[in-house]
Amino acid sequence: MSELFDILLSASFWAAAIRIASPLIFAAMGELICERAGVLNLGIEGIMVVGAFAGWMAVYSGMGLWPGVAVALASGMAFGLLHATLTVPFGLSQHVVGLGITLLATSATYYAYRIALPQVNTPPKIDAFDPYAIPGLSDLPLVGEALFTQTPLTYAAFVTAALVAFVLFRTPLGLAIRACGENPAAVAAQGLPVTGLRMGAVIVGSGLMAVGGAFLTMSAFDSFFFEMVNGRGWICIALVVFGAWRPGKTLLGAVLFAAFDALQIRLQQTELGAVLPYQAFLAAPYILSILALVVMSRRAQVPAALMVPFRKGER
């Protein structure tokens, strides 16, 4: 028990939690934008794989870190464009298209990796983002190390969440996007382009998912390997439900989830790790996500037009 308190009170634990949360924040914000506009994006898992590879590959082939992030963003937007084209104007099944995008994006990435780097056994590392201690703030006890001694991409994740919240809830554009997810006919009746808004949301959202993937290779593991996304995309979908489609709550959910993930890694080192098999610890985050869905699904206010295609002139 005291070990648990030691873990929970250590700054390094919370620093790890914030680090683990960062890719989830990017991707979950991306998913949230899509779903607020009325499109479920199950391509998230594959788009994160693409982003992880694209960002890393760009840096590996000589680009700077931020240009690398931009490449990841663009790669995600490209797949977002494909997803949006199929689901919005054509109104095809969002389930099937999303899964198809995940399969396509994942296999295309692996193929590109094999072509770019044939016969490599250990994936090469890149010079990734370094932690940047924010002057002043990083000297604060506990929070200084946990929050303000992170890599720039982590700060970007939090800024992104704030930006998403501002745009969605404080600007006419955000209102129009949310209305697309609630009743697209109301948007069309105002002469606003439902198709354009939804597609835009999916494209931008997919870009953020890819940046979330890029975090893994550019700010965490410093190299690309297969299966590295490992269900994080699916967890982000659960986080959006957990966060009741609100950016703030979703961000909180991501941090809580990440804290739990960091905790299970540390608990493996304690006497609990000797009692339980390590697989139980690894499975815990997935099970926790499912439990969170069960608890939250009853209360959550799902966007009313989520997964409802819209065609002009039809009711």
> Is 163 a binder of another protein (CB under 8 A)?
no
Q: Which stretch binds another protein (CB under 8 A): 54-62, 65-73, 102-110, 267-275?
A: 102-110
| Choice from 66, 89, 152, 158 touching another protein (CB under 8 A) | 89
Q: How far is the CB of 126 from another protein (least distance, A)?
A: 22
| Choice from 80, 146, 161, 178 touching another protein (CB under 8 A) | 178
**Nearest-CA neighbor of 258 among 235, 280, 276, 241?**
235
- DSSP classification of residue 150: E
> Is 220 a binder of another protein (CB under 8 A)?
no
Nearer to another protein, 10 or 93 (CB): 93
For residues 209 and 233, the answer to whether their CB atoms sit within 8 Å is yes
| Choice from 152, 182, 221, 272 touching another protein (CB under 8 A) | 182
Nearer to another protein, 37 or 146 (CB): 37
For residues 204 and 40, the answer to whether their CB atoms sit within 8 Å is no
| Choice from 152, 183, 221, 252 touching another protein (CB under 8 A) | 183
CA dihedral 55, 58, 63, 67 (to 10 degrees): -40
Q: How far is the CB of 158 from another protein (least distance, A)?
A: 21
> Is 185 a binder of another protein (CB under 8 A)?
yes
> Is 304 a binder of another protein (CB under 8 A)?
yes
C-alpha separations of 279 from 170, 263, 265 in Å? 44, 14, 11
Tell me the pairing of strands 149-150 and 132-133.
antiparallel
Buried b (16+ CB within 10 A) or exposed e, 119-147: eeeebeebebbeeeeeeeebeeeeebbbb
Q: Report the sign of the C-alpha dihedral through residues 12, 67, 79, 108, in that order.
A: negative
For residues 76 and 236, the answer to whether their CB atoms sit within 8 Å is no
Nearer to another protein, 238 or 259 (CB): 238
Residues that bind another protein (CB under 8 A): 42, 82, 86, 89-93, 95-97, 99-101, 103-104, 106-108, 110-111, 114-115, 118, 170-173, 175-176, 178-179, 182-183, 185-192, 230-231, 234-235, 237-238, 241, 277, 279-280, 282-283, 286-287, 289-290, 293-294, 297-298, 301, 303-304, 311-315
